Amino acid sequence: MVEQEVHDTLQGIRVSEKLTFELEITESAYKSDQDLEGELQVYAKPNDRVIYNRRSPPKNVVTQFVAGGPHETAGFPGTNLFLALSADPIVNTEAENLGLEGITDDTTSISIDWDVDEAERLLADDERKVIYEDTYLMEQFASEDRPFVVRGELYRDAREVMENREHMRQLLKSQNRDLVSLEGLATLSITIEHKSNIPDPIHIDEFHLDMAQTFPEIDFLPFKDATYDPEHKRIEWRNRTLAPNDVLTYNILGPIEQLLGVGEVSATLKGSIEDSTMGGVRIEGIYDSTGMAVPQYPQVDKGVNIQCSIRMDPDALRGEVQTTSGSQINIPLPPEDTYERLINICQRESLHVRDRSPPSDEEPITGQEGVFSYASPGELEIKREYGDEGTVYGDITVEGRFTAVSQTNEVSAFDREQDRVIREDEGAMERRGQSQIDIRARSTSSELNARLIGIIEEGFRGGDQPALSGGA
Amino acid sequence: MAEFTCATHGGRSVEGVCGECGEPLCQECVDKVRDPLFDHYETEGPRRLILILLLVIGLPLLLNTFLLDALIQIRKNLIPQTIVIFNPGILHSSVIFGIALVPTLYYRTGSQYSGTVFVHRQATERILCAECANNRSQSLLYFGIVGAAVLFGLLGVYLILQSFGGGRVDLTSLRVSAIGGGLYVLRDELVYRIKMQFGKR
């Protein structure tokens, strides 16, 4: 190992990336866009030896006086480095424009040479210098490759949302709020979810939200570490950490009409991921001009800076405010008959049937001889428009069991032997069939949902004594 | 982007890179070449300076003054033919070899501790890929000089052996060997100077 000047002057390597992410949810557009800029910097710092090597280079005893002046040499003082880099991007680089531009060669030659005056100044100030810089760019990569997901949502019923989501429940608990205090409030929430395609946590240094309008009853969750500035209509949260697979939410609470009135909301998130890069740039080795690895590895810093701006219009989210209501009806009829009656009801009540698939693939139920069920239940997608009030969508499934013999009942009714079998089977199940109807109605209001469910329930109640035979 | 592996044998781990072009090389490809154009300096300069002084001044002085009287006495009393030390060949060889060492001596001023220091310039062993190593005409020059040095050295020995006869050794031809030795000592410096003169590399 021959001592080279670069061994001591090479100070550190920094791979820093900047992830810019823009999300826009407005009436006219729903779009997101992300770019990644990466920068590789090599730092060097002069030492006393650097100055000595330049001020007093070795002089030949003979040629100093014969030829005059010091000569240039290749090996001394040894200012060249070969930096070997590799990249293993987290983002999918198969697409053409995602290449790591700039980092292409197997090894990059870097010269850490100094101007004596500059070296002296840097040494006096104890400063280091960026000796080499390279950048790479990953433009508009797929949103799946982004390490986090941002969602903006508006819920009419804050209580329901908070109750049903684990991370929201935990948030409430940590804030000493109970669910009752959320009753009657709607929430505009921005959710940030770590996708764990990188193993490191995301630090959210700052998250602030600007509103066009505000209102007196406005409330926030989390409340404790929020700073609200009513004058500038701004709310700010600081220093939260998002671990892999974790979810963070920022919520604005208030009555729905008021929330819809806050106008356009723009949020800015500043965060960072330490010790990790999306480009996966790795230092494979550092070699000097003798071709051997440098004895001391410099410090290598990595990090991703995240800058995210979100623009959203609560009005645009309004359409997404859907409530789902469910109902279950039990009918003592074989599923096939129930399905047909359901279609009859839909036709009678002019519910638009969008898609239908009757129950099929009957299969015996083990342990119950002569009793069958359907492997694929009957499904029905319906829709009902209520003018200005809105549209309700319904998904209905029909499941159940039946005795197969009961369906051949009419054919073989005169056969005494068969008749006995039928009775036996009926005894086993106590009736010829049993169906269960599941209705899930979706619309912007639970009232509309209830109306749709009501129509169907009413339709079946009309035939409260469903003792009629299957094919009627 | 490709993994960082040997450029010739993909997949093998990298042992070093070519000091010229930076190509990654595996253990098999790594070949260490002594490069006279790639110099480094070592601190054995003072020892070399002392050696030069001894060879050029010390030994002649010693032979011509100190030992002279004593040896004249010995010469008178003993068989004069066996004393070969006064042969001018030894003295000349010493001076030739000593002077040959001078151009390898370098000095640096302004040292933190001792003002001026003497250093010794040396060729460096470095890793080069086959292509970069082959592109260098310097190895031919280097081996030419080493060959000449060996020839001179052997010629000197041959001439001494030739003169051997009648119990008397004539060391006059030792000067030829000294020239060979001097050439060998100067090999890196010569390659370096010649290459510098006629274009680098």
For residue range A273-295, list pLDDT tens digits in order: 988 888 878 888 899 888 888 88
Task: Judge whether B110 is closer than 8 Å to chain A, CB to CB.
Answer: yes
Of A118, A111, A119, A120, the C-alpha closest to A74 is A111
For residue A307, what is the enclosing H or E element? strand A299-312
Q: Does the pLDDT at position A319 exceed 70?
A: no
B35–A76 CB contact, under 8 Å: no
Task: Work out the pLDDT band at A95, boundaries 50, 70, 90.
Answer: very low
* CA A240 vs CA A177, A207, A226, A246, A310: distances in Å: 19, 9, 11, 12, 18
Nearest by CB to A58, from B37, B106, B128: name it.
B106
- Residue A303 is predicted with a pLDDT of 92
Contacts of residue B69, defined as CB under 8 A and 6 or more positions apart, other chains included, come to: none
Of A48, A61, A108, the CB nearest to B102: A61
Segment B53-66, tens digit of pLDDT: 998 888 878 777 76
Contacts of B103 in chain A (CB under 8 A): 60-63
φ, ψ of residue A260 to 5 degrees: the values are -65, -20
**Do the beta carbons of residue A76 and residue A15 sit within 8 Å?**
no
**Does A354 have pLDDT greater than 70?**
yes
Tokens of A180: 């009752």
Note whether B19 contacts A55, CB cutoff 8 Å. no
The residues pairing with A391 across neighbouring beta strands, listed in sequence order, are: A385
Interface membership of A423 toward B (CB under 8 Å) = no
Predicted pLDDT of residue A447? 81
Instruction: Pick the range with the lowest mean pLDDT from A146-150, A237-241, A359-363, B169-173.
Output: B169-173
Are the CB atoms for B189 and B121 separated by under 8 Å?
yes
Name residue A304's beta-bridge partners. A17, A273
Residue B10 has pLDDT above 90, yes or no: no
pLDDT tier at A315, thresholds 50, 70, 90 = confident
Q: Cβ of A42: how many Cβ atoms within 10 Å? A: 23
Q: What is the pLDDT of residue B149?
A: 93
Q: What is the DSSP letter of B168?
A: B
pLDDT in tens, A325-341: 888 888 888 888 889 98
Q: How confident is the model at residue A428 (pLDDT cuts 50, 70, 90)?
A: low
ipTM over 0.85: no
CB contact under 8 A, B38 and A290: yes
In chain B, which among 135-194 make CB contacts under 8 A with chain A? Answer: none
pLDDT confidence of residue B83? 53
Euclidean distance between CA atoms A38 and A147, whole angstroms:
16
B86 touches chain A (CB under 8 A): no
Residue B101 with chain A: CB contacts under 8 Å: none
Encoding tokens for residue A337? 């008959």
Residues whose CB is less than 8 angstroms from the CB of residue A36 and which lie 6 or more positions away in sequence, other chains included? A17, A18, A19, A20, A91, A137, A138, A139, A141, A278, A279
What's the pLDDT tens digit per position in B110-169?
776 767 888 888 888 888 888 887 766 677 888 899 999 999 999 998 888 887 766 666
Q: How confident is the model at residue A408 (pLDDT cuts 50, 70, 90)?
A: very low
Whether the CB-CB separation of A209 and A266 falls below 8 Å is answered with: yes
Residue A469 banded pLDDT, cuts 50, 70, 90: very low
Across A8-12, B11-15, B169-173, B186-190, least confident range: B169-173
Would you say residue B200 has pLDDT above 70? no
